[in-house]
Amino acid sequence: MAAPAKFLFDVDFSAPDKSRERAATSAEIAARVAQAEAQAYRNGFDAGQRESHAESERRIAASFQQIGNSIAAIAAQFAEIESRLQTEAVDVAVATARKLSGALIEAEPLAEITELVGDCFKHLVSTPHLVIRINDGLYEQARDAFERMAKQSGFAGRLIVLAEPELAVGDCKIEWADGGVVREAAAIDAKITELVERYVASRHRNATRTTP
């Protein structure tokens, strides 16, 4: 059995142990605190920057959305204005055409009728007879003009010109064996009104569909 080790009293316990950690000085503690504060500030600043950037992006996106909505609203308003202006332009054009047509008929009541009769003479040269009904106030003037036109065009059939008091000035009816044609200002005006109303309704539907 080994002999027990003797306790030697040559160890000085009052001397500091160099292997033990040295206590930090106040300067070192202050430096560490400052370093920690700086790191915390940097972390907080970076987080703030990220949050600010995200908020900026959200605001920019919201601004673009608002701008887009405003542009869409303005476009819809322009489309409505354009449709209204086009409709008004059509109304003005039709009103002007009616006024000019009325003035033309008043100044030259046989102008349109003569053109229509001339076309009939050209295409109905071999027709056995042609009946033209005209307003009674224009009968004398129209009969002479139509007879001259028939001779000049080579029409060999029988020409009959009749006075019809119920026909308006500028209207006429032309009849032949297997056909006929009518020029009636009221019917033409009604057809124009129908076409204009259909056009305006179509424009209104298109403007309604394009409105967001």
Residue 135 sits in the same domain as residue 65: no
Residue 92 sits in the same domain as residue 197: yes
What whole-number distance in Å separates Cα of residue 159 and Cα of residue 144? Answer: 11
Kindly report the three-state secondary structure assignment for every residue of 119-145: HHHHHCCCCCEEEEEECHHHHHHHHHH
Confidence of residue 182 (pLDDT cuts 50, 70, 90): confident
Asked whether residue 12 is domain-assigned, the answer is no
CATH number, domain containing residue 147? 3.40.1260.20
Reply yes or no on whether the pLDDT at 162 is more than 90: yes
Q: Is 79 in a helix, a strand, or coil? A: helix
The amino acid sitting at 24 is: A
Q: Which of 4-8, 71-75, 86-90, 199-203 has the lowest mean pLDDT?
A: 4-8
Domain that holds residue 57: 27-106+188-212
89-133: per-residue pLDDT in tens? 767 676 766 666 666 667 677 888 888 888 888 888 788 889 999
Residue 54 sits in the same domain as residue 159: no
Asked whether residue 17 is domain-assigned, the answer is no
Token digits for 53?
Answer: 């950037």
Token digits for 24?
Answer: 């930090």
Asked whether residue 182 is domain-assigned, the answer is no
Reply yes or no on whether the pLDDT at 9 is more than 80: no
Residue 164 sits in the same domain as residue 193: no
